[in-house]
Chains A and B, each alone.
Chain A
Amino acid sequence: MHEGSADPGLYDYVPYRGRGKVVWPGGKTVAVWVAPNLEYYEIDPPAHPKRRAWARPHPDVVGYSHRDHSNRVSHWRMADVMSRHGFPGSVSLSVALCQHHPEVVADGVARGWEFFSHGIYNTRYAYDMSEAQERAIIEDSIRTVREATGQTIRGWLAPALTHTPRTLDLIAEYGLDYTCDLYHDDQVQEVKVKRGRLASIPYSLEVNDHYGFFVYNMSGREYADTLIRQFERLAAEGERSGTVMCIPLHAYLIGQPHRIGPFEEALRHIAADGRAWMARAGDIIDHWRAQA
């Protein structure tokens, strides 16, 4: 990006109307990918000058234990529901989870899920890192995920959405194929980087379960209805050129007992519709590249 410029210079303006036709495998109109955030939050992380990790003095019991619910209970519940309806996961991974709770990571591997990096911990922020420090967390991510899963990470979602001006150039230099940090489109788009190439895949804040429940204050049923509306629209518009719908999740939110039932109904609806290509992030990037 252009550090210090008013426009970060990450992409060209490409109007939604009149784009080339993207077709997904089997003639599907919308690629649907589910992105569970498998995270580890530290109970007593070091202070960062630009952001507090917890709202309360450590231990923030509710903040910490709410997130711990993912690993003890709700990951397994959420993952079963996804598998039951044929949705693979593309995991936004706090890579230290490979050390703390390798059982959770192994479960994703056994289900055929793809892993990309979401930083080391979701309580360690990238703001103010030197280039060497940022390279260290990228290299740590590549090494850690490779050792735990055999996979080479292809994507990046910045830890707790914290960036530096050089993040996107660096991940492209390391050979990563996609970023989940840009929210400017409903289709895969090219990102301008110094070396190599990088695509932005639509992730979503708006239909992220965290936004659904704690920004828009929806009930579980309202959130499920939101996912269906999002899907119906993108599936219809995808007739012109294939769209992408991401369902970004946190097990400690969507996997709560009052929300998981309505969520399963939304997945059932999308899977039964016939217009969805239920895919992993890397597959979506590959098919888009082949047509770009």
Chain B
Amino acid sequence: MSLDPAYLEYPRRSHGYDHALYPWSALHERPPVKWPRGSVAVWICVSLEWFPITPTDMPFRAPGHMATAYPDLRHYTARDYGNRVGAWRFLDALEKAGVRASFATNAAVAERYPQLVRAVLDGGHEIIAHSTDMNGTIDSSLGETAERALIGDALARLFAATGVRPAGWLSIARSQSFRTADLLRQEGLTYCCDWVNDELPYGFSNGLVNLPLNHELSDRTIIAVQQQSADSWAQSMEDAFDWLAGEAARTGGGRMLPIHATPYIMGLPYRIGAFERLLERLSARAECWFARGDAIVESWQGQR
């Protein structure tokens, strides 16, 4: 038995990456970044998601989507709970702490729940485009025409519902095709949040900025996947903050802590307190600069 000889050929085995999407760069070799204040930019990003009870699986089913035979009332309603109740708990907590955050918003949420997106905007928060609804997934099997139409549709519907042309884009499950970065750039977006390979913003080859929204720090990974408690999640966020503040002090370069939260996960009555206490503790730290994603990108771009 043997493998096709091509399996032992390595045409892209050379310095840098095996692709041209973004250049090779190690964080510690870049000039230090300074934030407007503090040394650790804490970016809270809340996802506003509407899961149709009719999943299309085109091209794949989003994490958290329907799980039983139709009609999956259990998951449809448990997810929509996030929009009806959980998101409002986040808005209250952020207002109480005086924190401006980013809300990654399905266009369908903006259309269906105008009171919610109005409150998001009135609270001084940023809206990041987050596809059409939770059926709006992207990967390389989608095809260029369909992908271009999906991104354009999401942005047009978000604009029609809110009057906002967002600077940022978050793909569902952070899943892109090889052409997504170019399509986002062509649509006039400044940044995406999908690539989790860095801890500061960096530029793609085509000029798009990637603002890494670390999935490892999300409530989805720590609570829904790893089955940790809300207190354990909050402890991990504080441990991360402590480490990053120490690193910033040692190196003289600003750091970033992205906190990705989901209303139907962290917005439950027995969990939201852990989020509120985390905001209180971070607010008390001199190193902390709470910032929206667009503010972090803007500060970073001003220093390039």
Interface residues of A (CB under 8 A from B): 42-44, 46, 48-49, 56-59, 61-62, 64-69, 71-73, 76-77, 96, 99-104, 120-121, 124, 128-130, 132-133, 136-137, 213-214, 217-221, 256-262
Q: Which 4 A-B pairs have the closest CB atoms?
A: A130-B2, A68-B197, A258-B240, A257-B240
Across the interface, name the chain B residue whose C-beta is closest to A136. B8
Complex-state Cα separation, A61 to B192, whole angstroms: 12
Q: Which residues of A contact B173 (CB under 8 A)?
A: 62
Q: Please, could you name 26 A-B residue pairs with CB atoms under 8 Å apart, sorted by A?
A: A46-B6, A48-B3, A59-B176, A59-B177, A61-B194, A62-B174, A62-B215, A64-B197, A69-B198, A73-B198, A96-B13, A99-B13, A100-B14, A100-B18, A121-B10, A129-B3, A130-B3, A133-B8, A136-B8, A219-B232, A219-B236, A257-B243, A257-B257, A258-B216, A258-B240, A259-B236
**B244 lies within 8 A of chain A by Cβ:** yes
A44 touches B14 (CB 8 A): no
Let me know if A61 and B195 touch, CB within 8 A. yes
Question: Is B281 in the interface zone, CB < 8 Å from A?
Answer: no
Chain A residue with Cβ nearest B216: A256
Given known pairs A257-B243, A260-B243, the reply for A100 and B17 (CB within 8 Å) is: yes
Inter-chain contacts of B178 with A (CB < 8 A)? 58-59
Interchain CA distance A61-B212 in the complex, whole Å = 12
In the complex, are the beta carbons of B217 and A258 less than 8 A apart? yes
Q: Let me know if B145 is at the binding interface, CB within 8 A.
A: no
Interface flag for B25 (CB, 8 Å): yes
B196 touches A69 (CB 8 A): yes
Does chain A have a CB within 8 A of B27? yes
Which of B15, B215, B232 is A99 in contact with, Cβ under 8 Å?
B15
- Establish whether residues B19 and A258, one from each chain, have CB atoms under 8 Å apart when the complex forms: no
Binds A, one of B149-157, B158-166, B222-230: B222-230
Which bracket fits the contact residues of B? 35 or more
Given contacts A133-B8, A219-B228, A221-B235, contact A101 B24 (CB under 8 A): yes
Task: Answer whether residue B186 sits at the interface, using C-beta atoms and an 8 A cutoff.
Answer: no
B26 & A76 in contact (Cβ 8 Å cutoff) = yes
Minimal Cβ-Cβ distance residue in B for A129 = B3
Contact with A along B187-203 (1 / 0, CB 8 A): 00000001111110000
Task: Assess the B26–A71 pair: CB atoms within 8 A.
Answer: yes
Say yes or no for B242: interface residue by CB 8 A criterion.
Answer: yes
Per the bound structure, the CA–CA distance linking A76 and B251 in Å amounts to 13
Task: Say yes or no for B111: interface residue by CB 8 A criterion.
Answer: no
Name the B residues within 8 Å of A132 (CB-CB). 2
Q: Determine whether B80 belongs to the interface, using a CB cutoff of 8 Å to chain A.
A: no
Q: B205 near A: Cβ within 8 Å?
A: no
Known contacts A72-B25, A100-B14: does B239 contact A258 (CB below 8 Å)?
A: yes
Q: Closest CB-CB distance, A225 to chain B, in whole Å?
A: 13
- B residues in contact (CB < 8 Å) with A: 1-4, 6-8, 10, 12-19, 24-28, 59-60, 139-141, 171, 173-178, 194-199, 212, 214-217, 222, 225-228, 232, 235-237, 239-244, 247, 255, 257
Whole-angstrom CA separation of A262 from B240 in the bound complex: 10
Contact B15 A258 (CB under 8 A): no
- In the complex, are the beta carbons of A73 and B199 less than 8 A apart? yes
CA distance A46 to B13 in the complex (A): 14
* Contact B3 A221, beta carbon cutoff 8 Å: no
With A257-B240, A258-B216 as contacts: A48 and B176 at CB distance below 8 Å = no
**Cβ-defined contact, A66 with B196, below 8 A:** yes
Instruction: Give the complex CA separation of A59 and B239 in angstroms.
Output: 31
Q: How far is the CA of A67 from the CA of B235 in the complex (A)?
A: 24
Given that A100-B17, A220-B239, A260-B243 are known contacts, is A59 also in contact with B140, CB under 8 Å in the complex?
A: yes
Q: Which residues does chain A contribute within 8 Å of B27, judged by CB atoms?
A: 72-73, 76
Q: Are A57 and B26 within 8 A (Cβ)?
A: no
CB distance from A215 to the nearest CB of B (A): 10
Closest residue of A by beta carbon distance from B210: A65
Complex Cα–Cα for A136 and B18 (A): 22
User: Min CB distance, A77 to chain B, in Å?
Assistant: 7
Residues of A with C-beta under 8 A to B2: 128-130, 132-133
Q: Which of A46, A102, A217 contacts B228 (CB 8 A)?
A: A217
Indicate whether A43 sits within 8 Å of B237 (C-beta atoms), given known contacts A128-B3, A133-B8, A257-B257: no
Q: How far is the CA of A67 from the CA of B195 in the complex (A)?
A: 11
Contacts of A259 in B (CB 8 A): 236, 239
What's the nearest-Cβ distance from chain A to residue B285, in Å?
Answer: 15
Given A44, A120, A261, which contacts B18 in the complex, CB threshold below 8 Å? A44
**Contact indicator A96/B216 (Cβ below 8 Å):** no
Please measure, in the bound complex, the distance between the C-alpha atom of A219 and the C-alpha atom of B26, giving whole angstroms: 27
Partner of A62, one of B196, B226, B227, B255: B196
User: Within the complex, which residue of A59, A64, A137, A220 is in contact with B8, where a contact is CB–CB below 8 Å?
Assistant: A137
- Measured between C-beta atoms, what is the minimum distance from B252 to chain A in Å? 15
Which residues in A have their C-beta under 8 angstroms from that of B243?
257-258, 260-261
By a CB distance below 8 angstroms, the chain B residues around A71 are: 24, 26
Q: Do A48 and B239 have beta carbons less than 8 Å apart? A: no
Name the distance in Å between B67's Cβ and chain A's nearest Cβ: 18
B140:A57 contact, CB within 8 angstroms: yes
Report the bound CA distance from A120 to B228 in whole Å: 36
Instruction: Identify the closest chain A residue to B247 (Cβ).
Output: A77
Whether B10 and A76, one on each chain, are in contact in the complex, defined by CB atoms closer than 8 angstroms, is no
Task: Determine how close the nearest CB of chain A comes to the CB of B176; give it in whole angstroms.
Answer: 5
Q: Taking CB as reference atom, which chain A residue is nearest B142?
A: A57
